[in-house]
Amino acid sequence: MDHQLPIVETGEQTNPAKGALHLLWRDESATQAFAVQLAAQAALAHAFITLHGDLGAGKTTFTRHLLQALGITGRIKSPTYAIVESYEAEAFPIWHFDFYRFNDPQEWEDAGFRDIFASPGLKLAEWPQKAEALLPAADLDIALQTQGETARSVTLTAHTPRGTALLQALAAQQAPGACP
């Protein structure tokens, strides 16, 4: 698989210095290629990443590719029912949340979510808007929009210095001059 070509930077709106990067993933192999690039970033280890996008946009699919690129083997379940699934990467723990069904703020305390967000490790959250009042600010937000069956337009937004560092490193890796 060619890791350069499938991720297309969409050009004029992209400005990592201002904290946003626009990409087009033409198909799932491009989603995977980007996941591989993100997995290679040292700043990912303790990051909090939120994932926005409609049902079926590809939030879980992207997370699966990211976790596999981080060395997680075996089944990576969608956490829609459990709300959180946890993993141990070689160097740090990972928590994959899906707050779609989250509706009891008491669960935040009871299920130990507060402790998770206070711990080192990578946290990813689908449907963060359903727990907005409780969640800390994300380092990086990834918003996916379906463009036909296999393409996804992607907006990455940084909200912290760690997120900005990730964004700038990722922007530097996109194929220069590539246009859709």
Ligand X SMILES: Nc1ncnc2c1ncn2[C@@H]1O[C@H](COP(=O)(O)OP(=O)(O)OP(=O)(O)O)[C@@H](O)[C@H]1O
Give the residues lining the site for ligand X (CB under 6 A).
25, 27-28, 31, 53, 55-62, 78, 80, 98, 126, 150, 152
Choice between 59 and 162, CB closer to Mg ion: 59
The order of strands in the sheet holding 48-52 is: 7-9, 20-25, 151-158, 140-147, 48-52, 122-126, 93-98, 84-88
Strand 84-88 to 7-9 pairing: unpaired
31 lines the binding site for Mg ion (CB under 5 A): no
Q: At what angle do helices 161-173 and 28-39 cross, to 10 degrees?
A: 120
CB of 120 to ligand X, least distance (A): 25
Query: 55 contacts which partner out of Mg ion, ligand X, none, CB within 5 to 8 A by kind?
Result: ligand X
Going residue by residue from 123 to 152, which x/- string records binding to Mg ion, judged by CB under 5 A?
A: ---x--------------------------
H helix runs in 2-124, sequence order: 28-39, 59-69, 105-110, 113-117
Q: Binding to Mg ion (CB under 5 A): which residues in 52-71? A: 59-60
CB of 146 to ligand X, least distance (A): 8
Query: 61 contacts which partner out of Mg ion, ligand X, none, CB within 5 to 8 A by kind?
Result: ligand X
CB of 89 to ligand X, least distance (A): 20
The sign of the torsion formed by the CA atoms of 81, 136, 130, 22 equals negative
Given the rule CB under 5 A, which of 13-21, 32-40, 41-49, 75-83 is the region that contacts Mg ion?
75-83
Rounded-to-integer distance, Cα 55 and Cα 45, Å = 27
* Token duo for residue 67: 């976790």
CB of 152 to ligand X, least distance (A): 5
CB of 150 to ligand X, least distance (A): 4
Q: At what angle do helices 28-39 and 59-69 cross, to 10 degrees?
A: 50
Can you say how many angstroms the Cα of residue 72 is from the centroid of all Cα atoms in its chain? 16
Residues that bind Mg ion (CB under 5 A): 59-60, 78, 126
